[in-house]
Homo-oligomer: A and B are copies of this chain.
Amino acid sequence: MRTRRLILIGFGSVHQALAHLLITRQARLQQDYGLDLQVVGVADRGGAIMNPQGLPLDALLAHKRAGHGVSTFPQGTALPDARTLARMAGYDLLLEASPVNLEDGEPALSCIRAALLQGKGVVLANKAPLVLDYRGLHQLAREEGGPLAFSATVCGGLPVINVGQRDLIAAAIHQVEGIFNSTSNYILSRMATGEPYQDALAEAQRRGLAERDPRLDVEGWDTANKLVIIANAVLHVPAHLEDVRVVGIQDITPADLAQARAKGEMIRLIATATREGSRWQLEVKPRAVPITSFLGGIDGWEMGVVFRTDIFEDIYMKIDERGPTATAAAMLRDVVNVGV
């Protein structure tokens, strides 16, 4: 049995779901994978808490749900912030699921670099650090020998990155198309049935799937973030956010959706990476697609991707993901698979 000590940066819906999984799957993880996973530190916006013996997760979840920050949790030692926690030596893996911050990536970037510089493993659900510094973080991970896994950053539980990196061996990919943001997809699906935009957005936020800043979802930037990660990780293109042409769904009207429907089409927010000679064209924009097509059939809370390749022909994947658990499960998958 290997004991692995985790610290969690961010304690919102994804890491709360992960804490719940660590409680309910503890016996399974021990039995099937020989892994005893302990959370020895957690940080949220208000501070951090650590306990080298392992934090009691049930009690910590109850404390957080009662509206308290983690730093006031009595069964541990309070620390001022996430960075201080990440610089401590007493853990094996840092898990990052703090809110997406595209301005400077903080506090995630500092925390991840602190972990990698100590040779520790890092598992990400937060896309911003990869979007801002994909190459730098990977170089640091290679130099210091710590694994860096991020299968949870694209389509939550759907193993888009893993299939792209591990299964499409020796293939030339011509095109990647995908619907990567379930909030905007859900909003479009509801608007297509006549529901007002604000109601659909409010429901998405209630379910804990919308980003805190809904502009990330509806203006297409969350989708573009995922496209940048796929470009770097699967297509081996050193793309940045400014390389993506982005148009969101904010100007789509119920009339547009009704007009599309009359033609047997549905408007979806679609990310596309298309190879043109030695270059890739990256874009995110609302497109009308046949309702009977694969992308047209990615409805409501679903997300999906199409890899158009030479030797594997066309591979389609989608997930129906109605809460943060599948993203947390993808982080747990990475924790098991990195094998530190």
Contact = CB atoms under 8 A, between A and B. Distances in A.
In the complex, which of the residues A28, A33, A314 has the most CB atoms of chain B within 10 Å of its own CB atom? A314
Interface string A290-323: 0110100100000010000001111111111110
A148 B332 CA distance: 26
A322 B239 CA distance: 32
Given A297-B292, A313-B319, A313-B322, A336 B32 contact: no
A326 B297 contact: no
Interface string A156-171: 0111001100111111
Contacts of A317: 315-317
A291 B290 CA distance: 14
Contacts of A318: 294, 315-316
B319 A21 contact: no
A231 to B, nearest CB: 17
Nearest to A17: B311
Given A21-B170, A332-B169, A336-B169, A158 B311 contact: no
A132 B163 CA distance: 29
Nearest to A162: B167
Contact of A170 (B159, B294, B304, B332): B332
A312 B316 contact: no
A184 to B, nearest CB: 19
Contacts of A328: 311
A225 interface: no
Interface in A180-212: none
Given A167-B159, A318-B316, A319-B316, A311 B329 contact: yes
A17 to B, nearest CB: 9
Given A163-B163, A297-B292, A170 B316 contact: no
A320 B329 contact: no
Given A163-B163, A297-B297, A325 B337 contact: no
A325 B325 CA distance: 37
Contacts of A320: 313-314, 316
Contacts of A162: 163, 166-167
A311 B21 contact: yes
Contacts of A171: 329
A140 interface: no
A29 interface: yes
A333 interface: yes
Given A162-B167, A170-B28, A170-B332, A314 B319 contact: yes
B170 A29 contact: yes
22 contacts: A21-B311, A157-B313, A157-B315, A159-B166, A162-B163, A162-B166, A163-B163, A167-B333, A169-B332, A170-B332, A170-B333, A291-B292, A297-B297, A312-B319, A312-B329, A313-B321, A314-B319, A315-B317, A315-B319, A316-B316, A316-B318, A317-B317
The 3 closest A-B pairs by CB, nearest first: A311-B329, A159-B167, A169-B333
